[in-house]
């Protein structure tokens, strides 16, 4: 997968929240977006995911333009802000309901992804009884369960304990090694530096600096 952002711009209420972004992103890489709250990280992710349309510019995926040739990127997993699940359904039942939409995975694969995120023992527990960390783990499970080619994770370590953070880091590496293109944000710069092949610093919606693992001894 190759994603090309060309002059990508989004304006809201007269303000440019994403400003003329030009990037090339490739499969088998982890890209980190870094910046203060409100700098445009999540908005840029929403544009790439097809959740909103740009004011100007284009998102091209493997030669096809988002919003023109397709509505959403193919084979995409997304965790942006708070995932919506049904409170009266268990973790397993929520994933099974999501999986039924595409029909691509079976019950064994759902159980496997619950194991990967550390929710096997809580799979039958009602979602409304989940802690914040458990809810975050289920959101990650939903994003990865269909083996996406594009994985977009907005603050995936939020509300996680030490075990959850380590599991999530392992999952992100595993997805990258499987050939997935991963785009993520994290308030902890050290986690980005540990995981990412490239980190893009964003200020006022503009990509200011790109650093790679070869820089700064990373």
Of 174, 173, 170, nearest in space to 160 by CA: 170
- pLDDT over 50 (residue 216): no
pTM, rounded to two decimals: 0.93
Of 201, 159, 143, 150, nearest in space to 180 by CA: 150
What does the pLDDT look like over 27-75, one tens digit per residue? Answer: 999 999 999 888 899 999 999 999 999 999 999 999 999 999 999 999 9
pLDDT the model gives residue 188? 93
pLDDT the model gives residue 83? 79
Domains of the chain: 1-75+149-218 (3.40.50.300), 84-147 (no CATH)
67-91 per-residue burial string, b: 16 or more CB within 10 A, e: under 16: eeeeeebeebbbbbeebebeeeebb
What does the pLDDT look like over 99-123, one tens digit per residue? Answer: 998 888 999 999 999 999 999 999 9
Mean pLDDT across the chain: 94
What does the pLDDT look like over 123-162, one tens digit per residue? Answer: 999 999 999 999 999 999 999 999 999 999 999 999 999 9
Phi, psi values for residue 28, rounded to 5°: 75, 20
Contact between 189 and 37 under an 8 Å Cβ cutoff? The reply is no
Q: Report the SS3 class of residue 133.
A: helix
Contacts of 9 (CB under 8 A, 6+ apart): 16, 18, 19, 20, 21, 54, 55, 56, 57
| Confidence tier at 214 by pLDDT (50, 70, 90) | low
pLDDT the model gives residue 37? 85
Of 53, 64, 39, nearest in space to 8 by CA: 53
The average pLDDT across 6-31 equals 96
Q: Where are the beta strands (DSSP E) in the chain?
A: 2-12, 15-26, 30-34, 56-61, 64-65, 76-79, 150-154, 181-185, 198-203, 206-212
- Strand-strand pairing, 198-203 and 64-65: unpaired
Contacts of 92 (CB under 8 A, 6+ apart): 110, 111, 114, 123, 124
Please name the residue that has the structure tokens 């004011």: 55
What's the rounded Cα separation, in Å, for the pair 185 and 59?
19
pLDDT the model gives residue 217? 42
What's the rounded Cα separation, in Å, for the pair 206 and 44?
10
List beta partners, residue 8. Answer: 21
Q: What is the largest CA-CA distance in the chain?
A: 49
What's the rounded Cα separation, in Å, for the pair 32 and 196?
6
């Amino acid at each position: 997968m190759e994603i090309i952002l060309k002059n990508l711009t989004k304006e809201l209420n007269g303000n440019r929240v994403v400003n003329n972004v030009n990037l090339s992103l490739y499969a088998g890489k982890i890209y980190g977006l870094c910046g203060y709250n409100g700098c445009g990280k999540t908005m840029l992710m929403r544009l790439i995911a097809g959740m909103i349309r740009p004011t100007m510019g284009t998102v091209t995926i493997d030669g096809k333009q988002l919003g023109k040739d397709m509505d959403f990127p193919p084979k995409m997993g997304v965790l942006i802000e708070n995932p919506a699940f049904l409170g009266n359904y268990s973790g397993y039942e929520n994933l099974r309901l999501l999986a039924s939409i595409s029909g691509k995975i079976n019950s064994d694969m759902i159980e496997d992804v619950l194991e990967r995120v550390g929710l096997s023992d809580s799979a039958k527990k009602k979602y409304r009884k989940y802690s914040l960390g458990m809810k975050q783990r289920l959101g990650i499970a939903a994003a990865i369960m269909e083996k996406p080619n594009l994985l977009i994770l907005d603050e995936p370590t939020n509300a996680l304990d030490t075990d959850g953070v380590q599991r999530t880091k392992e999952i992100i590496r595993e997805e990258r090694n499987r050939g997935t293109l991963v785009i993520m944000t994290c308030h902890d710069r050290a986690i980005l530096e540990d995981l990412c092949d490239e980190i893009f610093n964003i200020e006022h919606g503009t990509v200011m600096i790109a650093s790679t693992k070869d820089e700064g001894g990373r």
